[in-house]
Amino acid sequence: MKANIHPEYVTTQVTCSCGNSFTTRSTAKGGSIHVETCSACHPFYTGKQRVLDTAGRVAKFQQKYAKVQAKKAK
């Protein structure tokens, strides 16, 4: 490898918004990374599911599409 072209690979502290923290190695400057989700709080890893309001989105789409169809019918 060429000298002085690669970023420094240092120990980094990763802190999640849930309060969980762990140590890893990274090329990130500053030695710390803040993340919104981690394996301790992500729904995929915890088995907890979040309910999304998709019915509201579907109804909104159907209303919008009905207006387009009404214009085409005229």
List, as residue ranges, the binding site for Zn(2+): 16, 18, 38, 41
Residues annotated in the binding site, as ranges? 16, 18, 38, 41
Going by their DSSP bridges, the two strands 10-16 and 21-26 should be labelled as antiparallel
The dihedral over CA atoms of 22, 28, 31, 34, expressed in degrees to the nearest 10, equals: -50
* Amino acid found at 21: S
SS3 26: strand
